[in-house]
A and B are shown apart, each in its own frame.
Chain A
Amino acid sequence: MSVEEAVLVQRCLRGDGDAVRSLVDRFQAEVFGLCLRLLNHRHDAEDVTQEVFLRIFRSLRRWDAGRPLRPWIMGIALNRCRTWMAQRARRPVSVDYLQDIAPASPADDSAELLREIQDALRELRPEYRSVFLLFHEQGQPYEDIAMAMNCPVGTIKTWLHRARLEILERLRRRGMVSEVGHGLR
């Protein structure tokens, strides 16, 4: 646990406006990034990000100061995304497939690779996708991901391994990587 985080939370609980803004500022990019990747929809991601922060401030008193703040916040974000996805599954939705794809470069296949990876991510099970994004995109350690997802570290490693294999398998099927031999197991 960081002392700085505990102080920041205490200030937020006392109603310090600067502290509230500082906490939102510090975590909004990560929360929004995760929501966007999990929901694949910019407006939904914005709405869920707002909900996540409202929930954070509603339950800030219940945060255990002995544990790091980031996994606790990301755990709330994951839960909100899961709920949102469950609600959205019951109604038709348009997906912003092209919302953040880099402009295509004629010189290489970067844009195609990027699109294939984004599509592969969308096809992953939500828990695999969450673990993969938290590890590879947000650079979080296994322990923090385990705390956020409320799972043992071993489960997180297994899910991450399976997520990598599924993405690589899709890339292989789409001709983005050559046949992978004994690595795919």
Chain B
Amino acid sequence: MDCVECQELMQRYLDREPAVLERAGLAEHLTVCPDCRDWHAATRRLLDGMRLLPPPQPPTALVERICRQIVAERVRAFRLRRVLVTSAVAAGLLLVCSALYLGSRTVSRVGTPGALTRLPQGSTPSFQRRIEEASVAVAALTRRTAEETMSETKLLLAVNIPQAAVADAQELEQALEAPVQSLREIQEGMAAGLEPVATSARRAVAFFLSSRQWAVSGGQWAVP
């Protein structure tokens, strides 16, 4: 064995192939070549030193802390999504109101006052279609809100329940305290979040009824 071969074996030894040290001829070469012998000793010393490195021990509470943070972040993301969905629903209702308002104004301005009692045939279906489209959009947004709320609630429940087995009723109560608290927060948040939507809806319906009443009483437009 020559020095090149010996160095190659040393590299393989460093690459986690300890069996190469048993290779025939290596021991003989090391006895006659001081450079290779020093290199061999140094690599062994390095690997021995690495084995002395104590494995870093993470703190015992680290897993708990990480899981708690993950849950907290999910709750934050859920709340943000809820606000966005609520805003979308509110925007949808606003669109409906705008469509109704603009529709009634357009109808009232057609023709001269008192001269016309009926709209041209093409206008009414277009207006009705707009109302139907807006209704479908609001219904879809509401359905999506409900579905997201259900899925997020399931998710939070699943993550919050500790893994350990619950021994008695008191432990069970303690164990369920965190998810119950989360659900309470969600309930309060949903109630607060949906309040503006409900108010907008009430206003939209009231506005629609009053504008319809006005149109009918003014003789400008009769709903078919």
Contact = CB atoms under 8 A, between A and B. Distances in A.
Interface of A: 14-18, 20-21, 24-25, 28-29, 32-33, 36-37, 45-46, 49-50, 53-54, 57-58, 100-102, 110, 113-114, 116-118, 136-137, 139, 161, 164, 167-168, 171-172, 176-184
B122 interface: no
B7 A182 contact: yes
A95 B35 CA distance: 37
A117 B53 contact: yes
B62 A116 contact: no
A184 to B, nearest CB: 8
A14 B150 CA distance: 13
B176 to A, nearest CB: 13
Contacts of A58: 73
A53 B58 CA distance: 14
Interface stretch (B92-100, B155-163, B192-200): B155-163
Contacts of B49: 113-114, 116-117, 171
A117 B52 CA distance: 10
Given A28-B62, A33-B55, A50-B65, A139 B70 contact: no
Nearest to A51: B69
**Dominant secondary structure of chain B at its interface with chain A:** helix
Contacts of A137: 50, 53
Contacts of B36: 181-183
Given A25-B63, A181-B38, 17 more contacts: A15-B158, A17-B158, A21-B63, A32-B56, A32-B58, A32-B62, A54-B66, A100-B56, A101-B54, A117-B50, A117-B52, A117-B53, A168-B46, A171-B46, A180-B35, A182-B7, A183-B42
A182 B66 contact: no
B55 A177 contact: no
Contacts of B74: 15
Q: 10 nearest interchain CB pairs?
A: A181-B35, A183-B39, A15-B155, A17-B159, A32-B58, A33-B56, A177-B42, A117-B49, A36-B56, A114-B52
Nearest to A167: B46
B48 A113 contact: yes
Interface of B: 3, 7, 10-11, 14, 16, 34-36, 38-39, 41-43, 45-50, 52-59, 62-63, 65-67, 69-70, 73-74, 154-156, 158-161, 163
B38 A180 contact: yes
A184 B46 CA distance: 13
Contacts of B16: 139
A20 B54 CA distance: 28
Most chain A CB within a 10 A radius of its CB, from B16, B66, B161: B66
